[in-house]
Structures are given as C-alpha cells and as structure tokens.
Amino acid sequence: MSMKINRKPNIIVTRRLPDAVHGRLLDLFDAKLNVSDAPMSQAELKIAVQSADVLVPTVTDRIDADIIAAAGTELKLIANFGAGTDHIDIAAAHAKNIIVTNTPGVLTEDTADFAMALILAVPRRLVAADRLTRAGEFKGWTPTGILGHRVRGKKLGIVGMGRIGQAIARRASAFGLKVHYHNRAPVSPPIEDALHATYWPDLDSMMANMDIISINCPSTPETYHLISAERLAAMPAHGVIINTSRGEIIDEAALAAALASGQIAGAGLDVYENEPDIHPGLLGLPNVILAPHIASATHESRLEMGEKVMINIRALYDGHRCPDRVLPPE
Ligand code: 8YV
C-alpha cells in the first residue's frame, strides 16, 4: 500500500533518539519527540496513536492489541526503531491495515561484534579480571591467576542462523571456533560452505554437544523458553551460553539455577526476560557477564537505524512501498 498526503506526516517518537536523528525527523516531518526519554505509559501510548500518522516505537514500548485498537484512522505506519518486533502485535496492526517496518541490517555487524566479545570474554574471564585488578588484588603475575579456557578449537552452536547468526559465524571461524547451528531449516549450501557451518536439525542434540551456545533467533511464541531447564541440563558442565537476542528465549530462572549449581559453566547476557529487571539469582554470580541490552549500541548503528526509520516513512508518503515491511507471521 502507498499513499500521498498534502501535509507533513505527523510522527510520534516514543523515546529519545540521537540529536542528529531528531534534527532530520524535525526537518522532514511534523515530529513530536519524547526528549525526556521517560518510557511512555500504555495510557500515553493510547493517546499518542489516536492522532498520529506514524508511530516510531522502540523495544521498550508494548504495542499490543489494545494500543492498536485505540489507533485513529490516520495511523498508517508503525516504523519501529529496532530490528526485533516482538513487542508489536503485528497481526492486530495488519488487521487494521497499519504497516509495520523495522530496521534490519544496519545493526547486524555491531550486534555480532558484541556477541563475539561475550564469546571471548566469558571463557577468558575478562570482567572478573577487571574487577580483581580494580580491587587492588593484582599483586604481580602468577602462573595460576585468573585461568580461563581456550576459545580456539571449541564448538560454537548458533541457535538461529539469520543475518546476525551468520555474522557471528564469520567472526567465530576467524577465531578458530568450529561453527554449528540450529535453525528452522538449513541455510543454502553455498552459505553453509562459506561459513564452514554444520547444521543440526535437532536442538537437543546440538546443545548436548557444544561448548558454547549463542542465541540469535527472534522471540516468537515458538521460541519462548526454547532454552528450558531440560535443555540447559543437557549441556556439558563446561558449557557457556550467550544471549544477544531476547531474554524470553531462555528460562531465566532455570538459567540462574544451572549457573549457580555448576550445571553449566558461564553465561554472557545482554537481554533479560523482564527487562529492565534481572533475575536476582544472576546478579551475584561471578561466572556471568551481564550487559544492559547494548549489543547494537554504537553511534553509527543508531544513526543508521534512524535513517532506516525515515526512509520507511518517506517511502510510504512518497507513494512507494516501505522497504522494511515486517510481513504477517507465517
Ligand atoms: C535495539 C534490539 O537497540 O533491534 C533490536 O531488536 O534489540 C536492539 O538492538 C532496540 O531494539 C531498539 O529499539
């Protein structure tokens, strides 16, 4: 669907974005910005969608069926600032002919860098080492101080071989990891060959055989608690789990228990089941790195995400198809 209107579209942006993005949004559109950066309440979102032509939400906004039901007839586009759209009821939006777009691609490499950083930092105990040094406990080199585990030669199992999973696979191969993956279907043979990746149709078998697991699938009803207590129990005791996707994919309470009991060796987490809350059992564990949902947080990606949002809005109002439409769930 495309449309033309003879005025600047009225845009509501739910969170503070970089100044350069704000400037362009104000130039191009009749934009209402949330400069205070306090997340909008559901009641505020309901009011916002009554008069907007376009809503620009982020991962912290719950755009559920109630919000969509409250939308006025002017609301034609939800242009999400972010790749994941699990916080938006896409089916409800589509039922009301509201297009949903996202910002894929521009955050792939940065997110993969961050996942790779965790893949290296957890086995090599980077954060624990930093804490020890700052605590004044570095008294000189010792042969047994802060021993970690070698990364090279280990088996990495990527759960979800989309853009980000593949970008992690490229980095992991360069670090000498052996790349394995589980996905709904295998990637094409040329991609599999280029990534030197081995496909596991059965997630349970892959988890039982990997040294490190990286979660890179989207959050959907099917992937909710995909990493369950049983699957964690199947991992080897030296196993490490990395999550830069969505917290809901791992049963966080089960993960905290598995780490506390030594059932698995470590974790690197950037996302949580009930953000910004983190399971209290994780907070005191020395074998876990906890990041505040920053895998894509570079100046560059935020600007490019902003550009993608604006391109999608302009496309619609210039009478073109939005390039990053999110399709209805299969
Ligand atoms: C973004 C993310 O920072 O794009 C995503 O899906 O999880 C993050 O990397 C966030 O979504 C911005 O809304």
- CATH code: domain of residue 19: 3.40.50.720
Task: Check whether residue 163 and residue 278 sit in a common domain.
Answer: yes
To the query of whether residue 293 is one of the catalytic residues in this protein, the response is: yes
How many angstroms is it from 123 CA to the middle of ligand 1? 26
Which 3-state string (H, E, C) describes the chain?
Answer: CCCCCCCCCEEEECCCCCHHHHHHHHHHCEEEECCCCCCCCHHHHHHHHHHCCEEECCCCCCECHHHHHHCCCCCCEEECCCCCCCCECHHHHHHCCCEEECCCCCCHHHHHHHHHHHHHHCCCCHHHHHHHHHCCCCCCCCCCCCCCCCCCCCEEEEECCCHHHHHHHHHHHHCCCEEEEECCCCCCHHHHHHHCEEECCCHHHHHHHCCEEEECCCCCHHHCCCECHHHHHHCCCCCEEEECCCHHHECHHHHHHHHHCCCCCEEEECCCCECCECCHHHHCCCCEEECCCCCCCCHHHHHHHHHHHHHHHHHHHCCCCCCCECCCCC
Tell which atom from ligand 1 comes closest to the C-alpha of 80.
13
Question: Does residue 4 lie within any of the structural domains?
Answer: no
Q: How far is it, in rounded angstroms, from Cα 325 to Cα 73?
A: 19
Shared domain for 165 and 133, answered yes or no, is yes
What is the extent of the structural domain holding 73? 10-106+299-317
* Residues forming a β-bridge with 240: 212, 266
Classify residue 129: in a domain, yes or no. Answer: yes
Q: How many domains does the chain have?
A: 2
80 & 160 share domain: no
* Catalytic (active site) residue 182: no
Q: Which of 293, 298, 301, 324 to mutate to test the pocket of ligand 1 (most atoms within 8 A of CB)?
A: 293
Contact 269, 289 (CB under 8 A): yes
At 56, phi and psi to the nearest 5? -115, 95
Is residue 327 assigned to a domain? no
Is residue 98 in a domain? yes
- 55 and 123 fall within a common domain: no
What tens-digit pLDDT sequence spans the chain (330 residues)? 556 667 899 999 999 999 999 999 999 999 999 988 899 999 999 999 999 999 999 999 999 999 999 999 999 999 999 999 999 999 999 999 999 999 999 999 999 999 999 999 999 999 999 999 999 999 999 999 999 999 999 999 999 999 999 999 999 999 999 999 999 999 999 999 999 999 999 999 999 999 999 999 999 999 999 999 999 999 999 999 999 999 999 999 999 999 999 999 999 999 999 999 999 999 999 999 999 999 999 999 999 999 999 999 999 999 999 999 999 766
259 and 159 fall within a common domain: yes
24 part of the active site: no
Neighbour-count burial of 230, counting CB atoms closer than 10 A to its CB (0-12 exposed, 13-18 middle, 19+ buried)? exposed
* 134 alpha carbon – ligand 1 mean position (Å): 31
Which residues have a Cβ under 8 Å from the Cβ of 312 and sit 6 or more positions away?
77, 79, 101, 322, 323, 324
The answer as to whether 196 is a domain residue is yes
Q: Which residue, judged by its Cα, is nearest atom 12 of ligand 1? A: 82
Structure tokens at 133: 């040094």
Task: Examine the domain organization and report whether 87 and 196 are in the same domain.
Answer: no
Query: CB of 274 within 8 A of CB of 248?
Result: no
Q: Is 97 left (phi over 0), alpha (psi -120 to 50) or beta?
A: left
169 and 120 in a single domain? The answer is: yes
Does a structural domain hold residue 3?
Answer: no
pLDDT of residue 328: 77
273-302: burial string, b at 16+ Cβ within 10 Å, e else: beeeebbeebeeeebbbebebebbebeebb
Domain membership of residue 165 (yes or no) is yes
Structure tokens at 2: 């495309």
pLDDT of residue 6: 72
Q: Do residues 163 and 100 both lie within one domain? A: no
Residues 131, 76 within the same domain: no
5 domain-assigned:
no
Token pair of 79 as six digits: 């242009």
Instruction: Read off the pTM.
Output: 0.96
Same domain (yes/no): 167, 61: no
Residue 128 shares a structural domain with residue 19:
no
- With a 6 A CB cut-off, is 108 part of the ligand 1 pocket? no
Kindly state whether residues 58 and 117 are assigned to the same domain: no
